[in-house]
Structures are given as structure tokens and as C-alpha cells.
Amino acid sequence: MTMQNLPHPDDERLAAYAGGDRDVMDDATLVAHLATCDRCRPLVDELSILRGALAELPDLAPSRPLRLIPPVPAPAATPGVGSWLRRLTAPAMAAGAGLVLVGAIGIGATSGFLSQASSAMFDNREGLQGAGAPESEATASDTALTPGVKGSPTPSSNETKGGVVDSASASEPPSARFSPDASPAGSDATEHVRGRSTDEQPWLTLLIAGAGIFVAATALRFTISPRAG
């Protein structure tokens, strides 16, 4: 038994052999050693038996009932009226807030708070409108344009303004045509005051409407449940 005097193979190689690892099974030296070694042969046998027992370990009953199949996927969410309304509330709130802001700025501008800053711009706008006026007033409009740009109105432009105000008051914020009046001494005070109050009206309407929309949209948003659909 000379083989037994040779060094034993590494135990990990014996464990590989016990598992039927091809590389190790083909190792002639190791196979020859196992045939004669009283230490290694029983070790491999024991590992093999253990491995056989491991392969028999039974299946185990679950500790609790298992969900065997994923739940049926919910049908593609058809958004109901509620969810559509709810989706609209955010832009509506934003629009309402925007209107309130525009209205507030408008009132500020017409009530003189911003008139200093904006008068030049409004003059420009008036001038542009004048340019689009009928042929008969073309000359007057031209003269109106000039003082508008310069910021120093002439008496003739006052006449033109009066005509324009009457015809265009419905469509255009009239404040533009009255703001230059703050400086000239020629305009009378009562007309000025009356003009300002009527000028604020559309802005005020805008502000109130905006506030209304905002409040309504906010109320809707919190009334409709998030999962209405």
C-alpha cells in the first residue's frame, strides 16, 4: 500500500469528487488514491451519502396561504366626469389667479398708481389706433400721433381724442386715451374724474370674475374626490 503514503488530495477536491464533478472524476491520480486510502475513501463516501440525503429533502408546505396568481389587472381606467372636472380645476385656478392679477394691475394703472410709468406706452397705443382711423380724420390723427410720441398734446389732438373715445370705448380700455390728460391744463377736471371711474370698471369686472373663477375651481378641486373615476 504505497499509495497511502502519498499526500492526501485537498478535501475540497474530495468534496468535488463526491458531487460528481467531471474535472475531478477524470483525475487518474486522485481516483487511484481513493481506491486505496483509508482516510479519503470513507470521507468521499460519507459526503456522497450526505449529498444523496440533501437531494431528498422534501418540499415544504407554506407557512401561510400564498397568493398563487397575480390579481386580474384592473380594466384600463376610464376617466369619469369627476376626474375630468378635477383635471380642469388646476388650469382654471391658474386662469382665475391670472385674471385677478391683470385686473389688479389694470385698476392700479387707471387709478393713477401706475399712470406715470405707463403713460408713454398708452400714448403710443393711441397713436397707433389713430393711424388706423378713417380717411377724413387722417390729418387729425397724424397730428395726434406726433404729440403722443412727444408726450405734449396740442389742442387739436383733444378733439380727435374725444371722437375716438366715443367710438372705441366698448372694445378698447379707454384709460389709454385719458392718461395724457393728467398733464395738460386744458382738460377739465370733472370729465377726467368721470373718465377714470368708467375706466376702472372693466378691470374691476375682470378682477371679480377672476376671483370667482379661482374660488369656484378651488372649491371644485376639494369637493371632487381624487378617485372619482
Partner 1 sequence: MPPRDPANPASRTAPLADEEAVIARAANGDRAAFTQLIEHYQSACYGLAWRLLGDPDQAADAAQDAFVHAYDAIAKYRGGLFRSWLLRITANASYDILRRAQRKPTTTLPDAEEGEAELPDRSALDPEAEAGRSELYRYLDAALRRLPEDQRTAVVLCDVYGMDYGEVAEATESALGTVKSRIHRGRLRLRELMAEHRELFMNERRLDR
Interface with partner 1 (CB under 8 A): 11-13, 15-16, 18-19, 21, 43, 45-64, 66-70, 72
Q: Is 19 helix (H, G, I), strand (E, B) or coil?
A: coil
For partner 1, the closer of residues 10 and 191 by Cβ is: 10
Q: How far is the CB of 61 from partner 1 (least distance, A)?
A: 5
For partner 1, the closer of residues 69 and 117 by Cβ is: 69
For partner 1, the closer of residues 60 and 117 by Cβ is: 60
Please report, for the chain, how many H helices and E strands are present, in that order.
10, 0
Q: How many CB atoms lie within 10 A of CB 181?
A: 19
Q: Identify the CA nearest to 140 among candidates 149, 122, 127, 151.
A: 127
With beta carbons less than 8 A apart as the criterion, state whether 213 and 103 touch.
no
With beta carbons less than 8 A apart as the criterion, state whether 154 and 141 touch.
no
With beta carbons less than 8 A apart as the criterion, state whether 40 and 27 touch.
no
For partner 1, the closer of residues 23 and 188 by Cβ is: 23
Q: How far is the CB of 77 from partner 1 (least distance, A)?
A: 21
For partner 1, the closer of residues 28 and 69 by Cβ is: 69
DSSP 8-state code for residue 147: H
Cα–Cα distances in angstroms (integers) from residue 160 to residues 126, 141, 171, 179, in the given order = 11, 7, 18, 15
For partner 1, the closer of residues 31 and 120 by Cβ is: 31
Q: How far is the CB of 225 from partner 1 (least distance, A)?
A: 30
Q: How far is the CB of 21 from partner 1 (least distance, A)?
A: 8
Q: How far is the CB of 8 from partner 1 (least distance, A)?
A: 13
For partner 1, the closer of residues 52 and 162 by Cβ is: 52
Q: Identify the CA nearest to 40 among candidates 68, 62, 16.
A: 16
Q: Is 182 helix (H, G, I), strand (E, B) or coil?
A: helix
With beta carbons less than 8 A apart as the criterion, state whether 141 and 160 touch.
yes
Q: How far is the CB of 1 from partner 1 (least distance, A)?
A: 19
